[in-house]
Amino acid sequence: MDYFSGYISALVEQLSHLPGIGPKTAQRLAFYIISQPAEKAERLASSILDARRNVRYCKNCCTLTDEELCPVCSNPKRDKKTIMVVETPRDQAAYEKTGKYGGVYHVLHGAISPMLGIGPDDIRLKELMARLSGDVDEVIIATNSSLEGETTAMYISRLIKPTGIRVTRIASGVPVGGDLENIDEVTLLRALEGRRQL
């Protein structure tokens, strides 16, 4: 079945395992990579390896970082008593971009989804609970407003409530005028400011 070369087939196969990449796109990418100078392909390959080898989870908040502690956790100016719980490092990055949140984060790397068979043990929840034995005033749950995000928020709030720590949930944002970037930031800040106690 190797129309061209076993090497190309292997590359197409690997690329097609990436999220959002179907067989056709994988083939297009493979031919593109091969058409490039060898150094370019080497740079691509080595940046994949470098990222995979050097990026790890922050010991504290579980976000992706190349140090033991991420820049937010190691920043003495951040309020360690306020923890915002997000689903992904991308969600964290969105809030960081607003520049208005002074607390720290906890990245779950997913959300509870009974439909997909993702339970509480499949996300970084134990790590969050371990952090709560320290000095924490508030946990802001900023999971998505999807079914999974809401399920996760409810689950976490039930876990935390007995500890007496304040648990809040961000409001679902309403977009206001401006360009996309601003809409996102304003929406995020409104959602944060409009958080309610659970």
Instruction: Name the site residues for Zn ion (rule: CB under 5 A).
Output: 58, 60-61, 70, 73
What is the C-alpha to C-alpha distance for residues 6 and 11, in angstroms, rounded to an integer?
Answer: 9
What is the C-alpha to C-alpha distance for residues 6 and 63, in angstroms, rounded to an integer?
Answer: 38
CB of 60 to Zn ion, least distance (A): 4
Q: Sheet holding 103-107: strands in order across?
A: 103-107, 79-86, 138-141, 166-169, 196-197
CB of 131 to Zn ion, least distance (A): 10
75 or 163: CB nearest Zn ion: 75
- The candidate with the shortest Cα–Cα distance to 15, out of 35, 52, 53, 45, is 45
Angle between helices 23-35 and 38-54 in degrees, nearest 10: 120
CB of 145 to Zn ion, least distance (A): 24
CB of 95 to Zn ion, least distance (A): 13
